[in-house]
Structure 1
């Protein structure tokens, strides 16, 4: 007898195998579009002494991402873990009467991908300008939203856009926003650190030309001293926006499905998460786990955008999430801290380019002093939490390294395994200092969508070495990859950027920082696992590890470079359970040996 998975059907191979076994005598034909007929079912037992698998996957190109980058033909899964990996003939001994044997049709298989720095998957409430490619398209999209709104109604965009995607490579002006929304307060959220307001919104929030920029923030003005409408970093606190819709079970399942469809099986949440506080999200994750609806694994960091040890105590006490607690589905990683802001606020040792550099006087925007950062990370260390820190500029990195070196001198090894997030502008002389501390690096593809803007802010020379992926790797770092989503969600697009150093609309930047395809894949598999101290249970297709894997549309190692950025899975599995399937794809499948 032969069975196959029908289009769109999501079920576990274990459940399928059990169901088929119980109906062997009654059923005479398979269902759906599988690759075999029912005539040749053999139910012979496995050889004496062999362990019988729940499922064996054959006829594949398996990129195991083990220490030797072994490429295998087949693998077996039992009880949610990889049982064996090797050639098809070697895997035959694991096929028993009730083993589901799946023919993957020579497709490429990779370990389940891990996003090391993810906040959201994009979309959601608000005006969606993520796909516009010019100021005119943006204004047209806003006009449609205004036409549907009540007079005076506050309009807000969702944050998954960046002005580097626009042909004009600039923010919309206050006057342009006023032209399409003269009577409605309009706030364009851009990522997590910047907003653009029209005149009605500035008036609504009582922001005038005499309003003083708060510490760690900028109320941007033009050369004549007039408000541009741009609020940067802490200046966003001058707005009081309505809360995001509750992040409930329905939204969480949609969140999981979107990532599973990209081959992502694990994520690391660095503090900010879909507008929801991490403790509340953690409870929701546990709820879904208890209901059997969890299809994604989580490492969670408490948000510590604070400046005193007392703040740390309040966050820790309120969260009641001990460091390292959890299981294979959700674990408390540590705490996320900050020292500088986004692109416009990255703290540099050299002034920004003109005119943003204000005649060589603007070096960025540190959010906290060195003393404040040291107090915060010391307080987390006393509570045994690992620390990750948001770093954009090289001056911010100097500040972090000096503080961490001081801590390490007082308590050797205390910062080992801590993480520097982003490290957009790092100097070569800083790399040995990072290495000596034993800390890790979590890198993202900001250059891909922001290259021309970064070149304008920092100069082309600095932009060319934004994220020194090759130099870090050559220095021995096993760098982890991530999206800092929602802007670049597909991990294969990030791999493409790190392999080619291409950008969304400005060509190649810093070709000397290119890395190989296997190295880029490691950023989202084995290196991601090491970032989370989970290398013994995930990150590669090896015996004993969690059976998280993705079956791809094409061969990642051999397709033309340009095709990497659109590569996607046809199926994704978590713990051996199928959690995503392209409706147009079926695999040949039968039960037992033939």
Structure 2
């Protein structure tokens, strides 16, 4: 902090500072701030995307935003005045679709870049475990990040772990097993794939070891580690370090159910240790397919929509109709050989009538609905159900959200817009582009998650990562939406690029608006919660290629510093 030693006040205030501190002692009606941050480039994300020099914070909220002179009247004898050294500050970042902070127990494959890296990580795990002991990976990796752009073969896994059952979890909907794991659960070439799932076989009819969607139910895995206060604190540390101050958890939550997670969050809040704000959705995903199941979920949770406060609130419920990359339900067949001669269109997980029963029961119980949708045929199924509800009770589905929306048709967007529904999108393509190109053909993959088209149709998009199924870094998602670049396969759909301000709004104010919180958070404006992030570079002016390398050097929630990069000049407060 640059202080004028003769006056004991910041030098940037100049001569005005001679009398302004005295005003805070009772000579002025202006409220005195707890802290004033100045000499910054503040991207307010207000309605006009104004850029300001600094702001004042009092009682965990923004008191004033503006120039050094304007802020000076809020400085009193006890006010902390922080010179930000010209750093860029943005509102606290949000993730609109997050299941966990990534990593976690199991073999960590997130940093692997070659098949050899994957196999080396497995061999290291084998060396530290007894023969016969089950080994698992965590899920936040994808074969598209590997130079070979493929999964390891069953034979490669057998060579790396010959005496241990091994399950590689890739995302939330695919698992790959070695021979010992297939034998453990008696999965053979004659095992029938369950409804909504695939036991993958090669061209010779031999098991590849890959289980897709509901086929994973053939495994009986040990319960994940308990999600407790210590686990939540560790999760907060990881996410705060990425500049995240708010997350929306759609159904499945880092190894525990939402009611249990809600209780842990409340525990930490009561202890004054919470540094992340939550919107939680009850899990009503497939195979949930009846009104009776929904009644049981609601009755067990005892958490009506809206329960909570500014720290944690129940948003509604999460549903699903199709699978992931390998199972997204399309109106056109998959590319060969995945299309099986033009006969494979993906995996619908519930019937149209079953889905209508599910969302009808949720609506009767006053829950907003979010739905996992990958393919356009799945979206047809959703729209039929939602339009039926809306016809019976106009406005019934307003504010409900489509999650993902990888492949859509323009006429579907008109129907979504007519319903008043919203879109929550993630940057899966950044990581998985070459694999999606193989599954669906390059032309279709070029326009996966077409954010420019969505915006042209008037949608106010909410951005996210889908961690722990994908890497959690929000700046990777921003970079992809701005450039349409991918990790290993160049630019996909350059006509879908959008501007930096629009993308920043996706991860800040649009998130708040989706949750009905735009009056209290999401931008740096007077009266809003003082959640903000100091960035390592200028988001608006760094070369595009460097956006993916931006990071938080300090994160604040309610005016409290909850993360600080020890290597930065930002003071510890």
1:391-433 per-position Cα deviation (integer Å, ceiling 9, x unaligned): 0000000111111111101100000000000000111221111
Alignment-derived partner of residue 301 in structure 2: 319
Structure 2 unpaired stretches of 5+: 10-20
The structural deviation recorded for 1:39 is 4.7
Check the 8 A contact 1:82/1:541 in 2, yes or no: yes
Shift of 1:348: 0.2
Cα deviations by residue, 1:426-482 (Å, 9 ceiling, x for unpaired): 112211111100000000001011100000000011101100100101111110000
The aligned counterpart of 1:101 is: 81
Q: Paired residue for 1:521?
A: 504
Change (3 A) 1:38 1:245: farther
Superposed CA offset, 1:165-199 (max 9, x none): 11111111111111111111111111110000011
Q: Deviations over 1:238-259 (max 9, x none)?
A: 0011111111111111100111
Aligned to 2:461: 479
| TM-score, with structure 2 as normaliser | 0.96
- CA displacement 1:43-83 (0-9 Å, x = unmatched): 52335211111111111111000000011111111111111
Partner of 1:14: none
Instruction: State how far apart, in whole Å, the 2-side matches of 1:496 and 1:541 are.
Output: 22
Give 1:560's aligned residue: 543
Of residues 23, 26, 41, the one that matches 1:45 is 23
Is structure 2 residue 241 aligned with structure 1 residue 274?
Answer: no
Residues 160, 191 of structure 1: 8 Å contact kept: yes
Q: Tell me the distance in 1 between the aligned counterparts of 2:64 and 2:442.
A: 49
Q: TM-score, normalised by structure 1?
A: 0.92
CA drift of 1:146 comes to: 1.3
Contact 1:348–1:363 (CA<8 Å) still a contact in 2? yes
Partner SS state of residue 546, structure 1: coil
Larger RCO of the pair (alpha carbons < 8 Å, separation 6+): 1
Name whichever of 365-374 and 34-43 sits farther off: 34-43
Distance 1:488 1:510 in 2: 21
Q: Which residue of 160, 165, 170 corresponds with 1:180?
A: 160
CA contact (8 A) 2:95 2:474 kept: yes
* C-alpha distance in 1 between matches for 2:121 and 2:501: 40
Q: Which runs of 5+ in 1 are unaligned?
A: 1-33
| Aligned equivalents of 1:181, 1:257: Cα separation in 2 | 33
Q: Answer yes or no: is the 8 Å Cα contact 2:57–2:63 preserved in 1.
A: yes
Once the two structures are overlaid, the 10-residue window that deviates more, 137-146 or 551-560, is 137-146
Task: Give the drift of 1:37.
Answer: 7.1
Query: Taking structure 1 as reference, are residues 286 and 373 closer, same or farther at Cα in structure 2, changes over 3 Å only?
Result: same
* Deviation string, structure 1 residues 91-134 (Cα, Å, up to 9, x no partner): 11111122111111111110001100001111111111111111
**SS of residue paired to 1:84:** strand
Taking the TM superposition and a 5 Å limit, the aligned residue runs for 1:45-64 are 45-46=23-24, 47-64=27-44
Q: For residues 539 and 425 of structure 2, what CA distance do their matches in structure 1 show?
A: 21
Secondary structure at the aligned position of 2:438 is classed as: helix
Q: Does 1:232 align with 2:199?
A: no
8 A contact 1:333–1:532 mirrored in 2: yes
Taking a change above 3 Å as real, the CA distance of residues 356 and 588 of structure 1, as seen in their structure-2 partners, is: closer
In 2, distance between residues paired with 1:369 and 1:51? Answer: 59
In structure 2, distance between residues paired with 1:391 and 1:245: 29
1:419-434 equivalent positions in 2, closer than 5 A: 419-434=401-416
Q: CA RMSD in A?
A: 1.3
| Partner residue in 2 for 1:582 | 565
- Structure 1 position 112 matched with structure 2 position 92: yes
Q: Are positions 1:469 and 2:436 aligned together? A: no
Question: How far 1:587 moved relative to its partner?
Answer: 4.0
Residues 245-299 of structure 1: CA deviation (Å, up to 9, x unaligned): 1111111111001111111000000011111101000000000000000000000
* Residues in 2 aligned to 1:205 and 1:347: alpha-carbon distance in whole angstroms: 28
Count of residue correspondences: 557
Please give the residue correspondences for 1:4-19 in structure 2 after superposition, counting only pairs within 5 Å: none
1:551 to 534, 538, 542: 534
1:201–1:588 CA distance, 2 compared to 1 (3 A): closer
CA distance, structure 1, for counterparts of residue 43 and residue 170 of structure 2: 37
Matches within 5 A, 1:247-258: 247-258=227-238
Matched with 1:438 is 420
Work out which of the residue numbers 194, 204, 214 in structure 1 matches 2:184. Answer: 204
- Which of 506, 530, 536 aligns to 2:513? It is 530
